[in-house]
Amino acid sequence: MNEMLKNPAVLREIIMDHYQYPRNHKLTEDDSYKKRHMASDSCIDDITVQSKIEDGIVKDICFDGVACTIATSSTSIMSEMLIGKDVQEAMKLVENYFNMVEEKDYDEDLLEEAIAFQNVSKQANRIKCATIGWKAIREMLQESEGEVNE
Amino acid sequence: MVNVKEIRKDFPMFSNNPDLVYLDNAATTFKPQCVIDAVTGVYTQMTSNIHRGDYDLSHRISTAYDQTRTHVASFLNAEEDEIIFTSGASASLNMAAYGYGLTNLREGDVILSTEAEHASNILPWFKVSEMTHSKIEYISLNEKGELTVENFKKAMHEKVKVVAISYVSNVLGYINPIKDITEIAHEMNAVVFLDAAQAVPHMKVDVKELNVDFMSFSGHKMLAPSGIGVLYGKKDILEKTDSYMMGGGSNARFDMCGNLLLREIPYRFESGTPAIEATIGLDAAIDYLEKIGLDEIQTREAELKRYAIEQLSKLDNIILYNPDAETGIITFNIKDVFAQDAAGYLNSKHIAVRTGLHCAKMLVDILKTSDTIRASLYFYNTKEEIDRFVQVCSEITLEKCIDIFF
């Protein structure tokens, strides 16, 4: 793993940067996109994630909504990590991320900037913030896998 | 005077959590030992079901249960048969909205409410209006978010059959002018449904003086266990209210030909075995509150609130949304920090507050934000706790909110 990503100051900067300048932060009217509105009673984050999954490839991901630093930055990082990946590869990255957040075994080398959320489980009530966008994409990836199998 | 040092000894949550500053009392409150003892007493000494048991133990617990109804009635200056036990304020509000609304509202009738209501006070009416083809209209709030008699008068008209509002807003903490509103509503033949969940725990509430038709609140926000709530209804209004939950406890006799004799009010509204231990816990909780005195409690909370506002106003990173509200609800934000991030930082310093997302456009227009932090006080909070809360608020920056993750 990149040594830089072990430095808390760098990790903090990554989160700040993705919060203040979130990537892929827009929604589209294009109805070839799948869409998930993520809002729950246990948390005030309220975001919508869209994805275009075609020919087994994640062609695009975008999102918007009202959300905290952790929800916004984790979703922004997710979008950058997964765009261009094939569905199976994306699914592997998603599961690896959930393993990290849920304190199970995970592969650090697959996480890239998402390693910034390594300690999120220490603030247990914020796990939902760090996973809200990832849950949305996981559902959409699963749905697209189902479609391929059919 | 409330001797807060002595009072705090009655609450095991304080000694078990010495670092915690609990400022989420509008969500639920801690329980004093006497309430805990009342609940465990049911389990260790009185376990049996109420009513109809042909043995002494059942008689004992039935008496304790019925005594709570008598106590709640005197606490609210109501009659005993106007007190219905429910599982909480939400159940009370639903019972009243469906039970009265579905049988009494017609197409074109209007339900009048505000955009500052708690979901539990407005969502049942969404459903009732859909089912009866009646309409919901909203009273405008003033620039501070208050409900004024003047605005209420403007919104009132002859089609309004139901007025559904709160006594104290759970977002902004203002005490609404219910007595005046009820008078005007009654002159125009509308029935008043009062959500008093944020009022009954904090001030003296007299249903005869307010003259409301229905009123609801929860036990757990006033030192009692969760699972017990109250619906007060005026006797003549309850006569016109359908008991939509049927079953054991609601009927006196029935046969297979469909003949049914309902029990008298209030029992016909109480099907099934209730939360007996929680109800008996409510009895103990009211005892405790009465010993301190509701007026004392209100004065103390107002004093704590003033102190908190005074201290918070000195900070330049704070936005206060309801500095003038007399109750212990403080709604605020840290400048340039999303509510949940600031609440996360407060949590990392063992200060418990709650964030809220406001959907109502009117409220967003007044607050100029969709998300806020709420700190809510109870009489057992201290100035020292407020000092710690203010100190931590003063430190909050976006960077620090992220630092808690490293």
Task: Find the CATH number of the domain harbouring B337.
Answer: 3.90.1150.10
- The CATH number given to whatever domain includes residue B240 is 3.40.640.10
> Is B401 a catalytic site residue?
no
What residues make up the domain containing B372? 4-30+293-403
* Predicted confidence (pLDDT) per residue in B330-342, tens digit: 999 999 999 999 9
> Under a CB-based contact definition with an 8 Å cutoff, are residues A67 and A47 in contact?
yes
Q: Name the residue facing A12 among B348, B356, B402 (closest C-beta).
A: B402
Q: Tell me how many residue pairs between chain A and chain B have CB atoms under 8 A apart.
A: 55
Taking residues B379-389, what's their average pLDDT? Answer: 98
B401: chain A residues, CB-CB within 8 Å? 69
Q: Are residues B192 and B93 in the same domain?
A: yes
Chain A residue with CA closest to B372: the answer is A44
What is the interface pTM, i.e. ipTM, of the complex? 0.86
* Predicted confidence (pLDDT) per residue in B3-34, tens digit: 999 999 999 999 999 999 999 999 999 999 99
A65: chain B residues, CB-CB within 8 Å? none
Put simply, the answer to whether A68 touches B404 (Cβ < 8 Å) is no
Higher pLDDT: A5 or B391? It is B391
Put simply, the answer to whether B344 touches A46 (Cβ < 8 Å) is no
- According to DSSP, residue B329 is labeled E
DSSP readout, B24-69? BTTT-----HHHHHHHHHIIIII-S-SSS--SHHHHHHHHHHHHHH
CB proximity B399 to A under 8 Å: yes
Q: Are strands A34-40 and B229-233 parallel, antiparallel or unpaired?
A: unpaired
Q: Are residues B325 and B227 in the same domain?
A: no
Q: Are residues B167 and B250 in the same domain?
A: yes
CATH 3.90.1010.10 fits A3-149, yes or no: yes
Instruction: Tell which of B290, B315, B341 closes a domain.
Output: B290
> Under a CB-based contact definition with an 8 Å cutoff, are residues B105 and B162 in contact?
yes
Domain boundaries, chain A: 3-149
Q: Name the residue facing B347 among A12, A15, A125 (closest C-beta).
A: A125
Taking residues B290-302, what's their average pLDDT? Answer: 97
* Predicted confidence (pLDDT) per residue in B155-197, tens digit: 999 999 999 999 999 889 999 999 999 999 999 999 999 999 9
Number of domains in chain B: 2
Put simply, the answer to whether A125 touches B341 (Cβ < 8 Å) is no
Q: Are residues B330 and B351 in the same domain?
A: yes
Please give the structure tokens belonging to residue B242: 């359908």
- According to DSSP, residue B175 is labeled B
User: Along the 150 residues of chain A, how does pLDDT read in single tens digits?
Assistant: 678 888 989 999 999 999 999 999 999 999 999 999 998 666 788 999 999 999 999 999 999 998 999 999 999 999 999 999 999 999 999 999 999 999 999 999 999 999 999 999 888 889 999 999 999 999 999 999 887 655
Residue B352's pLDDT is what? 98
